Amino acid sequence: MFPLSSGTFLMSTTMNICRRAACTGDWSSGFNALISRVKPRSSCHRCPQTPSHSRGQSTAAKHAPGSETSEKPRLRAIDLARKVQQEKAKSQAAEVPVSDQQRRVAELKRFSLQLQHVHPNVLARHLHRSVLYQDKDLVVINKPYGVPVRDDSRVTSITSVLPVLSKMMEGNKIKTGSQLFPCLGLEKETTGVLLLARSEEAAEHILNLHRNNQVQRKYWVVAVGVPVPSEGVIDIPIIEREVTGPRPHYKMALSPLFKVNDAGDGLTKVRAHREAHPAVTKYRVLDSSRGCSLVELQPFTGGKHQMRVHMAFALACPILGDHKYSHWSKLAPQKLPEHVLGKLGLEQSKVRHLPLHLHSRQLILSGASQGDINVSCPVPKYFTQTLKRLDLTVTDRKDDK
């Protein structure tokens, strides 16, 4: 007799059990006997086995806490926003410079951008806290770094927030006719004393005093180099010229009235250029160390970038952070000596972040309605830290008298 196949055996077994159940009337025992005789099929690479579950069991397993097959809860919008903020904070933290100087420059840059793009009321409150002097005609504030004085469509300017500042100084009264007008402006990167007038008449009076040399403004700069002699007056007109090259641009340049004669033993006066502007700057070295110096400047004229041009091209001692006038033929970050980079804790590739170290230190106003006014402004934090790193100190306090 030939052996029965598994299918034939199962069929014959089933028929026998059914006959027995029909005779005894016990269908349940017959069915259980059939189940016990059927052995589970071994796993086959052709027919992979998957555990069978009812729909209720599979649904419960999906939602069971701690189950491996449980679905993750859907991410809410607020959770997604928090996740993005955390990732952004981590990326910013990873980009924080290592050295103290680089961290200081990064913080200054971030602070400057915040002041330029904040709501006008925020900038007005900042200026309100920085008032150095005020009377019925004038207001003197401490201008922050990086904020332009005149209107600029790209950033928030001081002029644009003067109506809000005026209202704050009047106690936020609903109706007030007080106004503020900038008299003697400062460059965007310059910090320190900024003079404002409370009326157009007061502003005109200040301008008349300035024309008559009754307004003295003294600046402090950190120079790369030491001027020789240590004190003097620079009287060289300046003119705007075009610099050709891969990146054409315009810069202020010297337009001297004298040149060395052909013999090389004297000077010859030349005709003044009709587009040149008079420029006179008095300078005095307050301290010097390691090839750098702290210099006090007093301009007698108001030419564009006058002090920067005189320091860079007349004295060959450019202001630290003056990337525009440290080179004549190109636009590039300032090139610093190795020993200066070492003291500042910087690499040359990071020099582009150095701010301009030009601070409006003191304002002396003679002939004002309230009498003579003498206001001094403390130097900003980044300026003080640079002085400390370069071992520069102020021992001469004549400027405060």
For residues 210 and 169, what is the distance between their CA atoms, to the nearest angstrom?
26
Q: Would you tell me how many other CB atoms lie within 10 Å of the CB of residue 32? A: 12
The helix, strand and coil proportions of the chain, stated in percent and rounded to the nearest 5, come to 35, 20, 45
Residue 308 identity (one-letter amino acid): R
153: phi then psi, degrees, rounded to nearest 5: -65, -20
For residues 214 and 206, what is the distance between their CA atoms, to the nearest angstrom?
9
pLDDT at 315: 97
Q: Would you tell me how many other CB atoms lie within 10 Å of the CB of residue 237? A: 20
pLDDT at 265 over 90: no
For residue 238, what are the β-bridge partners? 254, 277
Could you give all domains of the chain from N- to C-terminal order, each with its CATH number?
101-392 (3.30.2350.10)
The percentage of the chain sitting over the pLDDT mark of 70, rounded to a whole number, equals 75
Q: Tell me which residue of 396, 356, 220 sits closest to 298, measured CA to CA.
A: 220
Q: With contact defined as beta carbons under 8 Å apart, do 349 and 315 qualify?
A: no
Dihedral sign, CA of 302, 303, 304, 308?
Answer: negative
For residues 219 and 209, what is the distance between their CA atoms, to the nearest angstrom?
19
Q: What is the pLDDT of residues 138-178, one digit of tens each?
A: 999 999 998 999 887 678 899 999 999 999 988 776 666 67
For residues 65 and 230, what is the distance between their CA atoms, to the nearest angstrom?
80
pLDDT at 196 over 80: yes
295: phi then psi, degrees, rounded to nearest 5: -120, 135
Distances (CA, A) of 265 to 236, 259, 261: 20, 11, 7
Q: What is the mean pLDDT of residues 8-18?
A: 52
Q: With contact defined as beta carbons under 8 Å apart, do 192 and 130 qualify?
A: no
Q: What is the mean pLDDT of residues 284-306?
A: 95
pLDDT at 45 over 90: no
Q: What is the mean pLDDT of residues 208-235?
A: 95
Which residue, chain included where needed, has tokens 């370069």?
Answer: 390
Within its chain, how far is the Cα of 84 from the centroid?
22
pLDDT at 367: 73
- Per the rule left: phi > 0, alpha: psi between -120 and 50, beta: everything else, 345 is left
Q: What is the mean pLDDT of residues 287-303?
A: 95
Q: With contact defined as beta carbons under 8 Å apart, do 396 and 228 qualify?
A: no
Q: How many Cα atoms within 13 Å fall on the side-chain side of residue 342? A: 5
For residues 129 and 151, what is the distance between their CA atoms, to the nearest angstrom?
21
Q: With contact defined as beta carbons under 8 Å apart, do 363 and 217 qualify?
A: yes
Q: With contact defined as beta carbons under 8 Å apart, do 206 and 197 qualify?
A: yes
pTM of the model: 0.73
Reduce the DSSP state of residue 398 to 3 states and report it.
helix
